Structure 1
Amino acid sequence: MTAGCPHLEQVRPVTPTTTGCEECLRSGGRWVHLRMCLSCGHVGCCDSSQGKHATGHFHETGHAVIQSAEPGESWRWCYVDHKLV
């Protein structure tokens, strides 16, 4: 875990809003890996997915910190600082 990211202040206790990518579930799309917003619980697909909905959520909301929503993974990423936090 990298110290010094001011965006960690945005992290809240959240619950995933869905069991898959919200946007892909609505549109019938497919995802590769899932990411969860640590500000609101939005679940979106990773940048290896066609929709890149997790990154899109960041651009729409400014919620900077995500966590992998994949089983067995617990890393966190800050979109603003472009680093693991």
Structure 2
Amino acid sequence: MAIAAADVEKVVREFVARVKDDAPEFGNDTPLYADGVGLDSLETAELSAVLEDEFDTDPFAGDELPQTLGEILAFYAGVPSGARA
């Protein structure tokens, strides 16, 4: 059973709300960086740690960084619940 997308989305949205007071509304295709949500490198590292703590695996640990919420959700869709990467 894969990790529930709603759970992942909730964690990401709560994180963004906490670190970005002026964060725009964003959807699955909104860039997480620069002209999108505006996460910087430190905030991205923190999001990585939060996701790993919550779901025991981290979409930022691979060769390519996820660029959108949709890419993070797609990563977790293929990860069994409780699995370590």
Please indicate, yes or no, whether the TM-score normalized by the shorter chain is above 0.5: no
Q: Return the TM-score normalized by structure 2.
A: 0.33
Q: Which has the larger share of strand? A: 1
